[in-house]
Chains A and B, each alone.
Chain A
Amino acid sequence: MRHAARWWAACAALLALLPWVPGLDGNFARSLLSQMGIAAIFAISYNLLLGQTGLLSFGHAVYFGLGGYAAIHLLRAVNGGVPIPVPFVPLAGALAGLAAGIVLGSVATRRAGTIFALITLGVGELVHAASLMLPAFFGGEEGITASRTRAPHFLGLDFGSQLQVYYVIASWLLASALLALAFMRTPVGRMCNAVRDNPERAEFIGYNPQRVRFIACSVSAMLAGLAGGLHAINYEIVTSEAVGAMRSGEVLLMVYIGGVHHFIGAIVGAIAITWLQVSLSSYTSAWLLYLGLIFMAIILYAPGGLAAILVKHAAIWRSRAMGGVLRAYALALPAALMMVGGAVTLLEIAYRLSTQPEAGARMTLFWIPMDAATPWPWLGAAAVAFAGFFLLRRVAPRVRDAWDLALHG
């Protein structure tokens, strides 16, 4: 237990120090950190469903968005004089998420598996369509806005700066992670795992799987609502896009790419995907394509996600066999870079020609100027990609052998 306490203290210290690390101490980096924190809470809540209970949802943004709307309406009331400090406004989101989870979850959790996935998809579309039809509550296209600075001060803070908001988000992130881990250790949390692995046996020992799924869904919805509430105070605006299918898909991608079998996976995925979104989208408009391709590659070649890869390398590190593995990587890396570089160049040329025809066929990719009106850039990129692909296939067995040697001797 003392070990766990020390671990949590280390996490808290890390979260407190992060915005002061050189490179992360600017306003942009702090707002990126805030965004990652919100995404991490949302992903943790999603993983309670997908990873712990085995429920695949395509409409998790409903709880996120409704939580966001509840919080933004409360913030407006606070602007009007209700004395609630800003750090507690997201709790309204958590309550709204819980309420929505109880209502919608009671319908959706009647079934599991594929049908559950389809119901959540339908409910998500229903709520999204309704949000566009009821502008008084949802604000229509332009959304609902409020100000987090016109509120009572809390501990002398006015929450005008991104740093203060970051600390609010970081505190709630720590609290949510604790809550989610604690929930997983309760008997109900254990039954969630049992229902995921074998609902029939769970029923035989006297538990109603439908009830267990319902509880998991409600708790998860509550955390998603909290994330939505934090989204509301971070951006001071909530639009109907917050309940949309895009956001539901995003959190699914985050959690799966991060890894569903480890608790840390959701957080790793949230950080990685948020960073990818922000950094990739400033270089290329095709980032959604890359995100989809990364997702499919993870499903095909690394079903455990990034977390499983991390865990595997931690084990290799402990067995003091990193040297051999690194030598194999050194061989595979040039091949992988060739394949990815060639393929990305091809995709980028095609993408720019079709989405920005006015920019012309001359472009510079990877510091190489080229003219896409001639066949040479296409042929060159394709040749590099194919050469990389075949080299990688030749080297892949070596990497696999190095892993086997490191892990099994």
Chain B
Amino acid sequence: MLELATFSLLNGVVYGLLLFMLSSGLTLIFSMMGVLNFAHASFFMLGAYFSWQVGRWVGFWPALAIAPLACGLVGALVERYGLRKVHPQGHVAEILFTFGLSYVIGELVVMAWGRAPIENRVPASIDFPIFTLMGTSYPFYKAMMMAISVAMFAFLWVAFKRTRVGLVIQAALTHPQMVGALGHDVQRLFVLVFAVGSALAGLAGVIGGFALLTEPNMAVALGPIVFVVVVVGGLGSIPGAFIASMLIGIVQTFAVALDYSLLDLFRAAGIPVAANSALRELYAIKIAQAAPIIPYFLLVLILVARPRGIMGTRDQ
């Protein structure tokens, strides 16, 4: 039991950090440009595919750098030649543009790599046990995933709080016109922010790709969960995104390991449930089966109890 709890916790933290890598890029783009990027998970998927492809040509370690850079480049092009033109039409048109983009990226991935999942295995160079705990070994690549996400968080922190560009970006969040009047090119900052956000999603894709199934549907499967994280944490708040990612990551990982249902609870408490009861089917659902809907359930709960999200500051 203790072993199960420890490893569920470790895996939950890894999953949570992965969610955080995705949601921090999304939050970054949202708070800077007001654009909710529906194609964010598609950049994650592109990262996974790019790293697999580049990894086959030049090996895993160069791919770890090249794939996110390629994603960043795609993101920069999308911002410069697409989003910027849509911007005057308002936020709905921008959301819809990225929504259409997610369709197109999904189909382009099918076009380039086919419909079937690719064999995106953990490279041998990072697949070895790093420590053994209670008879179960913990693989190095999971530790590396953790390290990279923490390093990324640190990088974001330093880049925003300690560098000149970061300060200009922070100023542009609230006073874009004033920043422009001081001679900074706000348009170029937008391109930069979108590229960095896409590159972060791509990096998450490189190290998250082999934890999940790399197939053309992965963006559709992961996208909504990332949005849930962002809303639960409070739209635009990076610390909120962190808390929500961890919460969802850990809760969902624990839920998968729990093979109990409401029916078991009633039985333990001595409450009889009629065999032909209409709700019996509902009661019989195991927590493990219900794991995929937990994030959405949490979303509805949060919206009823605290509509602005955990760390949100204002009702928009």
Instruction: Point out residues on A near B: beta carbons under 8 Å.
Output: 50, 54, 56, 58, 107, 110-111, 113-115, 117-119, 121-123, 125-126, 129-130, 133-136, 245, 249, 252-253, 256, 286, 288-289, 291-293, 295-296, 299-300, 303, 347, 350-351, 354-355, 357
Contact = CB atoms under 8 A, between A and B. Distances in A.
Q: Is the interface of B mostly helix, strand, loop or mixed?
A: helix
Given A115-B307, A245-B224, A296-B82, 8 more contacts: A107-B300, A111-B307, A114-B95, A126-B297, A292-B103, A295-B96, A354-B112, A355-B110
Nearest to B230: A118
Contacts of B300: 107, 122-123, 126
A350 B110 CA distance: 10
A117 B303 CA distance: 13
Contact of B100 (A107, A121, A299): A299
A285 B307 CA distance: 42
B296 A292 contact: no
Interface of B: 36, 82, 85-86, 89, 91-93, 95-97, 99-101, 103-104, 106-108, 110-115, 220, 224, 227-228, 230-231, 235, 281-282, 285, 289-290, 292-293, 295-297, 299-300, 303-304, 307, 315-316
B224 A286 contact: no
Contacts of A249: 99, 103
Given A296-B97, A299-B100, A114 B224 contact: no
Give the residue among A54, A129, A351 with the most B Cβ atoms within 10 A.
Answer: A129
Contacts of B86: 299-300
B111 A118 contact: no
Given A122-B231, A288-B107, A134 B114 contact: no
A288 B231 CA distance: 29
A256 B89 CA distance: 13
26 contacts: A56-B95, A111-B307, A111-B316, A115-B316, A119-B231, A122-B228, A122-B296, A122-B299, A123-B300, A126-B297, A126-B299, A126-B300, A134-B281, A134-B285, A252-B96, A286-B107, A288-B107, A289-B103, A295-B103, A296-B101, A299-B86, A299-B93, A299-B100, A303-B93, A347-B111, A355-B115
Nearest to A246: B220
Given A111-B307, A119-B231, A303-B89, A351 B111 contact: yes
Contacts of B289: 133
A133 B296 CA distance: 14
Contact of B111 (A119, A295, A350): A350
B79 to A, nearest CB: 14
Given A129-B292, A293-B104, A121 B95 contact: no
Contacts of B297: 126
Give the residue among B96, B101, B112, B307 with the most A Cβ atoms within 10 A.
Answer: B96
Contacts of A357: 114
B110 A354 contact: yes
A296 B86 CA distance: 10
A295 B103 CA distance: 10
Contacts of B299: 119, 122, 126
A113 B36 CA distance: 11
Given A133-B290, A295-B100, A123 B296 contact: yes
A136 B281 contact: yes
Contact of A110 (B85, B227, B296, B303): B303
Contacts of A355: 110-111, 114-115
Q: Is the interface of A mostly helix, strand, loop or mixed?
A: helix
Give the residue among B82, B101, B224, B282 with the most A Cβ atoms within 10 A.
Answer: B224
Nearest to A54: B92
**Leading 8 A-B pairs by shortest Cβ distance:** A292-B103, A289-B107, A126-B296, A292-B104, A295-B100, A122-B299, A129-B293, A296-B100
Nearest to B105: A292
A61 B186 CA distance: 39
Contacts of B304: 107
Contacts of B315: 111
A330 B44 CA distance: 43
A133 B99 contact: no
B103 A115 contact: no
B227 A134 contact: no
A380 B91 CA distance: 39
Nearest to A348: B111
Given A129-B293, A134-B282, A296-B101, A115 B235 contact: yes
Given A107-B300, A118-B231, A299-B100, A56 B92 contact: yes
Contacts of A114: 36, 91, 95, 235, 316
Contact of A125 (B103, B108, B224): B224
A54 B93 CA distance: 11
Contact of A118 (B36, B97, B106): B36
A133 B285 contact: yes
Given A256-B96, A295-B100, A300-B85, A117 B115 contact: no
A77 B115 CA distance: 41
A292 B91 CA distance: 19
Give the residue among A54, A252, A291, A292 with the most B Cβ atoms within 10 A.
Answer: A292
B89 A122 contact: no
A50 B90 CA distance: 14
Contacts of A289: 103-104, 107-108, 111
A228 B293 CA distance: 24
A56 B289 CA distance: 31
Contacts of B295: 122
A22 B304 CA distance: 55
A134 B115 CA distance: 29
Contacts of B113: 354
A154 to B, nearest CB: 31
Contacts of A300: 82, 85-86, 97
Contacts of B114: 354-355, 357
A114 B93 CA distance: 11
A150 B303 CA distance: 45
Contacts of B97: 296, 299-300
